[in-house]
Amino acid sequence: MNMLIKDMIMKTSIRVKENQYLKEVLTYFEQTDVNSLPVFNICNQLIGILTKDTVMIGIQNHENVVSNLHLDQDYMIVSENDHIQDIIKKQKKFYLVENKYKSIIGIISHNDLNYVHISTLERRLKELEAVFEHAHNGIVAIDKNGIITSFNPATEKISGVKREGALGRFLNDVFIPSGMLEVLRTGEPQYGTKYQVGNRKYISNRTPIIENDEVTGVVAVFQDISEIEKISGELQSVRELNQQLEAIIAASYDGIVITDSTGKIIRYNQAFLTFIQGDTNDNLNGKVIFEVFPSFKIENIKQMLEGKQSIALLKKTEDNVTLIITANPVFNKNEHIDFVVINIQNITKFIRLQEEVENNRRLTERYKEELEQYRVELKSRANFIADSPIMKKVVHIAKKVSAFDSTVMIFGESGTGKEELARIIQLNSVRSEGPFITINCGAIPETLLESELFGYEAGAFTGAGKSGKPGMFELAHNGIIFLDEIGECPLSIQIKLLRVIQEKVVTRLGGTKSIKIDVRILAATHRNLEEQVKKGEFREDLFFRLNVIPITLPPLRERTEDLLPLIEMCLNELNQTYGMSKQIASDAFEILFRYKWPGNIRELRNAIERSFVLSEGEYINVKDFSFLQSEMIEQDTEIDDEEILPLKEAVMNFENKLINRALKKYGSTYKAANILNVDQSTIVRKLQKMKT
């Protein structure tokens, strides 16, 4: 509607002079489409407008020059950029149009202007009609009385009311009240007003029609936005979901990268930057993942594309970082891979932790074993037999030294109870609550013994664990270490042991740090250490360090008073364990008393167990001990009636014979003592005497 003057004028540069001949001027009109022209005087001043009709009449009246004709003065000068609707209001007969240089470039009459204006309006109206008829939005207009004057097909469709039934009727009789009447009353437009009818939602713009400052009607344009609202609701949830997803990806400690099927990065999180090579400030979107993250190779994505399923990779980087990389393809409807989600997890700490857990598990297992051993031993210790005067003395000394922190060296044949004695010392010492660590120096190969005793640092030698390991000395901190079979300890270790004993610190293999320890040392050997020192097999300085308090355990054959209680203890234990009540036949007893027991108490225990298991019935008989025959002490208890012996000896022989007979008949020393009317201890003592 905003048409400019320059868009419609007939441009002409013709300027009529007041002294020009009319015939000449007529040719101007005939050659162009213009019907009027401006006239200038000899000083080139505009003096009026000359129309074609005036010229024709002038010629008919035999006039010659322009100056004799009537020039129209009802004109004004307008700019070529003025709007038609502004100019039309001026109500002049002619408008001379000038350009920006103030030169007259054309002329237009008021009639022409009106004509153009009306035809523009008509065209405009047609356009609006087309819009009105075909608009998707409903358009309704009312006049100042609220009577419906316009009602387009879209409104019919939305409201279900026919146009014929709506036009000419009062708005509220056709529609559920809307704000149009309010706009009519107030003259205030309402834009973007939402309202609901039934389950449908609408949005409406209501504009007042104002003529001469008076509201003469209202036009409302409205639209059904139920679908849009639904979609926008869905869009909102998608947006929220997207935000949540963004937050999850950003907060993840794992590196997350999303690529297309060629590996081109679409999205990634902050954690991913810790795994990449190159500048972390760079925007990685659009780059190929293989270039910035070499642990994930092009072959990997190919493998995933071919398999059409997730892949998981375990990778170790140059910096010794272990990664688990998983790549998951996401398929579209056509089964094509839309994008790939790659997750990178640093499991280095986890692996270290796993190793530590494994080490702790092993340690716990060892403690458990030790505890079990301890439990078993404690049980047997409750039954520690020391009836013989010599053993009573040994136990007395052991208990005495318990109260001090001195190093004790226990000597004794194998199986005499050296470890048992060490336990007694520990249990009676102030360190009884602390650890008791036993190590058999003879049972561990030299190469391992050092690391077992002193521990090692991570990577100290091939096969050393990643987190290192404490040695027995460290484990015995605040407790006791029992170095069994110390005589078997290699010289190379002896020197290190000496250092630990003297300086009270250990240094782990492969380490430099000195670790302070507070450990009491008990050692034991079945060897003659002094002999070993002489032969140069054992360091003298270490010997003196260890041999602060020597205790020697006598072999079983030298403490026969302990034999019978030991046999009974073993038998009781076995009967209790298996819920039986076996007894040893008296003649079998004889074998046990006459046997030399080179393996001492351990051998005795084994022998009783073996015979217990192999014997049939309630009694363990001579034949069940047949495996002991070789080491028998020769003894003849028969008395030769003819032989003359010293009386004391003869009495003793007879006594022995009697005791043996009673034992044979009644099976136990207790019953034999009862029959012979003496104390059981007397029987036992005499039996032991028989063996020596």
Which residues make up the interface to ligand ATP (CB under 6 A)? Answer: 380, 383-386, 412, 414-420, 484, 526, 601-602, 605
Residue (483 or 585) nearer to ligand ATP, CB: 483
Tell me which H or E stretch contains 128.
helix 110-134
CA atoms within 13 A on the CB side of 658: 13
Residue with the closest Cβ to ligand ATP? 417
Residue (325 or 398) nearer to ligand ATP, CB: 398
The one-letter amino acid at 555: P
Tell me which H or E stretch contains 170.
none
CB of 379 to ligand ATP, least distance (A): 9
CB of 482 to ligand ATP, least distance (A): 9
CA–CA separation, 137 and 311 (whole Å): 54
CA atoms within 13 A on the CB side of 231: 4
**Which 3 state secondary structure label does DSSP give 392?**
helix
The one-letter amino acid at 402: S
CB of 380 to ligand ATP, least distance (A): 4
CA–CA separation, 509 and 456 (whole Å): 4
CB of 602 to ligand ATP, least distance (A): 4
CA–CA separation, 136 and 226 (whole Å): 14
Residues ≥6 apart with Cβ < 8 Å to 559 = 388, 390, 391
CB of 315 to ligand ATP, least distance (A): 51
Residue (465 or 565) nearer to ligand ATP, CB: 565
Residue (301 or 486) nearer to ligand ATP, CB: 486
| Cβ neighbours of 283 (radius 10 Å) | 8
CA–CA separation, 583 and 614 (whole Å): 13
CB of 348 to ligand ATP, least distance (A): 45
Residue (549 or 658) nearer to ligand ATP, CB: 549
Residue (386 or 607) nearer to ligand ATP, CB: 386
List the end-to-end C-alpha distance of the chain, in Å, as a whole number. 143
The two three-digit tokens of residue 574, written as one number: 């076995």
Residue (508 or 520) nearer to ligand ATP, CB: 520
CB of 553 to ligand ATP, least distance (A): 7
Residue (225 or 395) nearer to ligand ATP, CB: 395
| DSSP letter assigned to residue 628 | G
CA–CA separation, 148 and 165 (whole Å): 10
| Geometric angle at alpha carbon 567, from 562 and 569, rounded to 5° | 95
Q: In what order do the strands lie in the sheet with 16-17?
A: 16-17, 36-40, 46-51
CB of 464 to ligand ATP, least distance (A): 29
Residue (25 or 385) nearer to ligand ATP, CB: 385
Burial environment of residue 487 by CB neighbours within 10 A (0 to 12, 13 to 18, 19 or more) = buried
Residue (179 or 565) nearer to ligand ATP, CB: 565
Residue (72 or 609) nearer to ligand ATP, CB: 609
- Cα torsion 423, 416, 553, 410: sign: negative
CB of 325 to ligand ATP, least distance (A): 54
CB of 651 to ligand ATP, least distance (A): 33
User: What is the bridge-based pairing of β-strands 436-440 and 480-484?
Assistant: parallel
* Backbone phi, psi, residue 505, to 5°: -135, 150
The two three-digit tokens of residue 430, written as one number: 């102030």
CB of 459 to ligand ATP, least distance (A): 35
CB of 419 to ligand ATP, least distance (A): 4
Torsion of CA 43, 48, 53, 57, to 10 degrees: -60
Burial environment of residue 155 by CB neighbours within 10 A (0 to 12, 13 to 18, 19 or more) = buried
Residue (66 or 398) nearer to ligand ATP, CB: 398
Residue (82 or 452) nearer to ligand ATP, CB: 452
CB of 587 to ligand ATP, least distance (A): 25
- Cα torsion 175, 176, 180, 184: sign: positive
Tell me which H or E stretch contains 37.
strand 36-40
